[in-house]
Amino acid sequence: MSFKASIITLFPDMFPGSLGSSLAGNALEAGIWTLETADLRAFGKGKHRQVDDTPAGGGAGMILKPDVLADAIDSVSTGSDVRPRLLMSPRGRVLDQAYARELADGPGAVIVCGRFEGVDDRVIEARNLHEVSIGDYILSGGEPAAIVLLDAVIRLLPGVMGNEDSGLNESFEKGLLEHPHYTRPQSFEGREIPEELTSGNHGKVDQWRLEQAEKLTREKRPDILERHTTKNGKKES
């Protein structure tokens, strides 16, 4: 069974976008995942297919209408659909590698992309939407966020990455940033590849990589190291 993504958007042209190239694009062609878009405009009300309206209580901007969103969601997801329904939203759970894995282990996702000032809050509860953020900044719409989320998820689907192993060593997977990388030439503008990596001693290579990963994480993301050491029982027991 392939992973099925259904996107609800005012801008279906934005898909597959970058997901049509490289790893994700090949996987799409191979049927490892499938993509469907529902054009919000098609569910708009009246002659002008209105999808948004002014905010109750006044203020700037427009709000996506709950009835229009609900109809669009219902068109791609019926009662028997077990896929999680996500709303891209700056106030949601922040996407991380663990959440990407959780989604990749599931059957797919229905993803609602907000626009303008956002969506009428009532549709979130009415359609059981889980809010997901890609970070603490404001985008002009949920589409780029949906693409980021799907990119992180798709590369984890079985058969997408050539070397199944390569995902497991990556930054965040073990609670550490990944060690630094080098490739030929041996000498680049007077800078050499660290000798530990060219020693041919695998034990030495592994030890160096772990030390470097810990050092990098300590320097650049001490917040991650905190979680790593806590998880491994070195801090709390």
Comparing CA positions, the residue from 184, 166, 168, 179 lying closest to residue 206 is 179
Identify the H or E element spanning 52: strand 52-53
109-125 b/e (C-beta count within 10 Å ≥ 16 → b): bbbbbbbbebbbeebbe
Q: Which residue number places its CB atom closest to ligand SAH?
A: 114
Minimum distance of ligand SAH from residue 169's CB (angstroms): 27
Half-sphere exposure of 138 (CA within 13 A, CB side): 5
Asked if 115 interacts with ligand SAH (CB under 6 A), we say yes
Minimum distance of ligand SAH from residue 28's CB (angstroms): 22
Query: How do beta strands 191-192 and 63-64 pair?
Result: unpaired
Phi, then psi, of 17 in degrees rounded to 5: 55, -130
Query: Of residues 12, 84, 118, 167, which one binds ligand SAH by CB under 6 A?
Result: 118
Interface size with ligand SAH, residues (CB under 6 A): 19
**Residue position matching structure tokens 């939203």:** 89
Comparing CA positions, the residue from 15, 28, 69 lying closest to residue 160 is 28
Pick between residue 27 and residue 87 the one whose CB is nearest to ligand SAH.
87
Judged by CB under 6 A, which stretch of 72-80, 110-118, 151-159, 194-202 contacts ligand SAH?
110-118
Minimum distance of ligand SAH from residue 15's CB (angstroms): 15
Asked if 72 interacts with ligand SAH (CB under 6 A), we say no
> Would you state the torsion angle of the CA atoms of residues 172, 176, 177, 181, taken in this order, to the nearest 10 degrees?
-120
Judged by CB under 6 A, which stretch of 19-27, 139-147, 170-178, 209-217 contacts ligand SAH?
139-147
Asked if 88 interacts with ligand SAH (CB under 6 A), we say yes
Query: Of residues 68, 134, 154, 160, which one binds ligand SAH by CB under 6 A?
Result: 134
Minimum distance of ligand SAH from residue 97's CB (angstroms): 16
Residues in the site for ligand SAH, rule: CB under 6 A? 88-91, 113-115, 117-119, 133-135, 137-139, 141-142, 145
